[in-house]
Amino acid sequence: MPEELVTLWRYRDLPEALVARSKLDSQEVWCVLADDNTVRLDWFWSNAVGGVRLQVADDDAEYAMSLLAEEIPAGFTAEETGEDYQQPECPRCHSRDVTFQSEYRGIALIFLSIAVVTGWILALPVWIPGKSWQCEDCRNRWKAEYD
Protein backbone atom coordinates (compact mmCIF):
# COMPACT_ATOMS: atom_id res chain seq x y z
CA MET A 1 0.00 0.00 0.00
CA PRO A 2 1.40 3.42 -0.96
CA GLU A 3 2.33 5.86 1.79
CA GLU A 4 0.86 8.98 0.15
CA LEU A 5 -2.71 8.80 -1.16
CA VAL A 6 -4.25 11.52 -3.29
CA THR A 7 -8.01 12.01 -3.62
CA LEU A 8 -8.71 12.30 -7.34
CA TRP A 9 -12.46 12.72 -7.18
CA ARG A 10 -15.44 12.69 -4.85
CA TYR A 11 -18.62 10.91 -5.95
CA ARG A 12 -22.01 11.40 -4.37
CA ASP A 13 -23.28 8.07 -5.67
CA LEU A 14 -21.56 4.74 -5.14
CA PRO A 15 -22.29 3.23 -8.62
CA GLU A 16 -20.45 6.08 -10.35
CA ALA A 17 -17.47 5.64 -8.01
CA LEU A 18 -17.42 1.89 -8.72
CA VAL A 19 -17.30 2.51 -12.47
CA ALA A 20 -14.34 4.88 -12.06
CA ARG A 21 -12.54 2.40 -9.81
CA SER A 22 -13.09 -0.43 -12.29
CA LYS A 23 -11.69 1.72 -15.11
CA LEU A 24 -8.51 2.30 -13.12
CA ASP A 25 -8.36 -1.36 -12.06
CA SER A 26 -8.59 -2.47 -15.69
CA GLN A 27 -5.43 -0.46 -16.43
CA GLU A 28 -3.73 -1.89 -13.32
CA VAL A 29 -3.67 1.42 -11.46
CA TRP A 30 -3.89 0.76 -7.72
CA CYS A 31 -6.80 2.69 -6.22
CA VAL A 32 -9.15 2.61 -3.26
CA LEU A 33 -12.61 3.98 -2.50
CA ALA A 34 -12.76 5.73 0.86
CA ASP A 35 -16.06 5.93 2.78
CA ASP A 36 -17.74 3.60 0.29
CA ASN A 37 -19.06 1.31 3.03
CA THR A 38 -20.59 4.24 4.90
CA VAL A 39 -22.40 5.39 1.77
CA ARG A 40 -23.32 1.79 0.89
CA LEU A 41 -25.07 1.35 4.26
CA ASP A 42 -27.03 4.59 4.04
CA TRP A 43 -26.66 6.88 1.04
CA PHE A 44 -28.07 9.82 3.03
CA TRP A 45 -24.66 9.95 4.72
CA SER A 46 -22.93 10.66 1.40
CA ASN A 47 -23.11 14.44 1.72
CA ALA A 48 -22.19 14.33 5.40
CA VAL A 49 -18.94 12.42 4.82
CA GLY A 50 -18.08 14.28 1.62
CA GLY A 51 -19.06 11.50 -0.75
CA VAL A 52 -17.11 8.44 -1.81
CA ARG A 53 -13.47 9.42 -2.38
CA LEU A 54 -11.48 7.79 -5.17
CA GLN A 55 -7.85 7.70 -4.01
CA VAL A 56 -4.65 6.65 -5.77
CA ALA A 57 -0.94 6.70 -4.99
CA ASP A 58 0.63 10.13 -5.41
CA ASP A 59 2.92 8.79 -8.18
CA ASP A 60 -0.06 7.50 -10.22
CA ALA A 61 -2.31 10.56 -9.86
CA GLU A 62 -1.53 12.20 -13.20
CA TYR A 63 -1.90 8.96 -15.19
CA ALA A 64 -5.13 8.07 -13.35
CA MET A 65 -6.64 11.49 -14.10
CA SER A 66 -5.79 11.11 -17.78
CA LEU A 67 -7.55 7.71 -17.82
CA LEU A 68 -10.66 9.11 -16.17
CA ALA A 69 -10.72 12.09 -18.57
CA GLU A 70 -10.82 9.91 -21.70
CA GLU A 71 -13.81 10.37 -23.99
CA ILE A 72 -16.38 7.63 -24.39
CA PRO A 73 -15.33 5.72 -27.53
CA ALA A 74 -17.58 5.87 -30.61
CA GLY A 75 -17.56 2.08 -30.86
CA PHE A 76 -15.74 -1.08 -29.89
CA THR A 77 -15.52 -4.77 -30.72
CA ALA A 78 -16.65 -7.28 -28.10
CA GLU A 79 -13.81 -9.72 -27.43
CA GLU A 80 -16.10 -12.67 -26.66
CA THR A 81 -18.24 -12.51 -29.80
CA GLY A 82 -16.20 -10.35 -32.16
CA GLU A 83 -19.26 -8.16 -32.86
CA ASP A 84 -18.87 -4.44 -33.48
CA TYR A 85 -20.87 -2.15 -31.20
CA GLN A 86 -21.61 1.50 -31.90
CA GLN A 87 -22.23 3.71 -28.88
CA PRO A 88 -25.55 5.59 -28.92
CA GLU A 89 -25.28 9.36 -29.14
CA CYS A 90 -27.66 12.27 -28.73
CA PRO A 91 -29.14 13.42 -32.05
CA ARG A 92 -29.16 17.04 -30.83
CA CYS A 93 -25.68 17.60 -29.31
CA HIS A 94 -23.92 14.34 -30.35
CA SER A 95 -22.86 13.56 -26.77
CA ARG A 96 -22.28 9.91 -25.89
CA ASP A 97 -23.20 10.49 -22.24
CA VAL A 98 -26.70 8.99 -22.60
CA THR A 99 -28.86 6.66 -20.52
CA PHE A 100 -31.47 4.10 -21.58
CA GLN A 101 -34.69 4.06 -19.56
CA SER A 102 -38.29 3.00 -19.45
CA GLU A 103 -40.85 5.77 -19.60
CA TYR A 104 -43.76 5.88 -17.19
CA ARG A 105 -43.11 2.39 -15.81
CA GLY A 106 -44.29 3.31 -12.32
CA ILE A 107 -47.47 5.03 -13.52
CA ALA A 108 -48.36 2.11 -15.80
CA LEU A 109 -47.92 -0.35 -12.93
CA ILE A 110 -50.15 1.76 -10.66
CA PHE A 111 -52.91 1.86 -13.30
CA LEU A 112 -52.56 -1.88 -13.84
CA SER A 113 -52.74 -2.73 -10.13
CA ILE A 114 -55.81 -0.50 -9.63
CA ALA A 115 -57.50 -2.15 -12.60
CA VAL A 116 -56.77 -5.66 -11.30
CA VAL A 117 -57.92 -4.87 -7.74
CA THR A 118 -61.15 -3.19 -8.83
CA GLY A 119 -61.90 -5.64 -11.62
CA TRP A 120 -62.20 -2.86 -14.19
CA ILE A 121 -59.48 -4.18 -16.42
CA LEU A 122 -61.23 -3.07 -19.61
CA ALA A 123 -62.45 0.26 -18.25
CA LEU A 124 -59.11 1.81 -17.30
CA PRO A 125 -56.62 3.07 -19.87
CA VAL A 126 -53.44 1.09 -19.28
CA TRP A 127 -50.60 1.83 -21.63
CA ILE A 128 -47.47 -0.16 -22.26
CA PRO A 129 -44.48 1.87 -21.14
CA GLY A 130 -42.07 2.88 -23.89
CA LYS A 131 -38.29 2.85 -23.98
CA SER A 132 -36.22 5.96 -24.58
CA TRP A 133 -32.74 7.45 -24.45
CA GLN A 134 -31.91 10.59 -22.50
CA CYS A 135 -28.86 12.78 -22.97
CA GLU A 136 -27.17 13.72 -19.70
CA ASP A 137 -25.62 16.85 -21.26
CA CYS A 138 -28.56 18.60 -22.97
CA ARG A 139 -31.41 16.55 -21.35
CA ASN A 140 -32.84 15.70 -24.80
CA ARG A 141 -35.03 12.59 -24.86
CA TRP A 142 -35.71 10.44 -27.92
CA LYS A 143 -37.42 7.15 -28.67
CA ALA A 144 -35.28 4.02 -28.60
CA GLU A 145 -34.65 2.37 -31.93
CA TYR A 146 -34.26 -1.06 -30.34
CA ASP A 147 -35.03 -2.71 -26.99
How many CB atoms sit inside 10 A of residue 22's CB? 10
DSSP type of residue 74: S
For residue 17, the one-letter residue type is A
Q: State the span(s) of the chain assigned CATH 3.30.70.
A: 5-70
Q: Residues 40-45: what's their mean pLDDT?
A: 83
pTM of the model: 0.61
What is the C-alpha separation between 117 and 120, in angstroms, rounded? 8
Q: Contact 61/29 with Cβ under 8 angstroms?
A: no
Q: Residues 93-98: what's their mean pLDDT?
A: 89
Task: Convert the pLDDT of each residue in 77-86 to its tens digit.
Answer: 888 888 888 8
Q: Provide the CATH topology of domain 5-70.
A: Alpha-Beta Plaits (3.30.70)
